[in-house]
Amino acid sequence: DVKVTQSSRYLVKRTGEKVFLECVQDMDHENMFWYRQDPGLGLRLIYFSYDVKMKEKGDIPEGYSVSREKKERFSLILESASTNQTSMYLCASSFRMLSNQPQHFGDGTRLSIL
Amino acid sequence: AQKITQTQPGMFVQEKEAVTLDCTYDTSDPSYGLFWYKQPSSGEMIFLIYQGSYDQQNATEGRYSLNFQKARKSANLVISASQLGDSAMYFCAMREGDQTGANNLFFGTGTRLTVIP
């Protein structure tokens, strides 16, 4: 089975802190994604990566950056956390060459910024 | 314009009955794929079923089937014989294009299904 592991289920940070959310997948997927999920808004794409060291902005990249130094790991960085970044964050991965295959998700990180 | 629209914020269904969750989509690309995911209260996203735009038959996976009406741009999820464990949020999502690339998904806002004993 595909395993996508997010480093924390729950995280509490303070305004202005630099926050790192880590995601690791074990299926050799080329594509990796970061979403945030808010009630009534569904999932919105923050950033994605289709290869090591490659990154592309999604729909809501402001206030975030990402890092992909290794194929299996995709990190989301909140440069200076703000209260409006309190949300559920979901990481996903998929094969690049199989467009009919689903994205596989981690369990999510519920991040609270105080 | 929204690419994926789920108009039912919440639905109730009696245990053992069937339920249909609505999803309409908007794309001008002739090649696309539609996905349904289930999200229980624990938070993980579970893939349920996939329908490609060129697929001739409606997709089925166990108790899940997809009522795909291409001309109406709808891809409704049908759950037969509902079980208490089906209570969850359900998301419809679309991938546009046939390119083997990053295959981004556009998600709807979800429908919360509650199964009543």
The DSSP code sequence of A27-40 is: S--SEEEEEEEETT
Burial A18-29 (b: 16+ CB within 10 A, else e): ebebbbbbeeeb
Which residues 53-112 on chain A approach chain B with CB closer than 8 angstroms?
56, 58, 88, 90, 92, 94, 96-100, 102-108, 110
Task: Check if A113 contacts B (Cβ < 8 Å).
Answer: no
Distance (Å, rounded) from C-alpha A94 to C-alpha A47? Answer: 14
Query: For the residues B27-51, what does the mean pLDDT come to?
Result: 93
pLDDT at res. B68? 96
Going by C-alpha positions, the residue among A34, A21, A38, A24 that lies closest to residue A81 is A21
Distance (Å, rounded) from C-alpha A104 to C-alpha A31? Answer: 10
Stated length of chain B:
117
pLDDT at res. B31? 87
| pLDDT tens-digit series, residues B67-107 | 999 999 999 999 999 999 999 999 999 998 765 555 678 99
| pLDDT tens-digit series, residues B45-61 | 999 999 999 998 999 99
Output the six-digit token pair for B52. Answer: 């490609």
Task: Supply the mean pLDDT for chain B.
Answer: 93
Q: Do B109 and A41 touch (CB under 8 A)?
A: yes
Distance (Å, rounded) from C-alpha B91 to C-alpha B105? Answer: 11
For chain A, percent of residues with pLDDT exceeding 70: 96
Q: Do A105 and B44 touch (CB under 8 A)?
A: yes
Q: Which residues of A touch B100 (CB under 8 A)?
A: 96-99
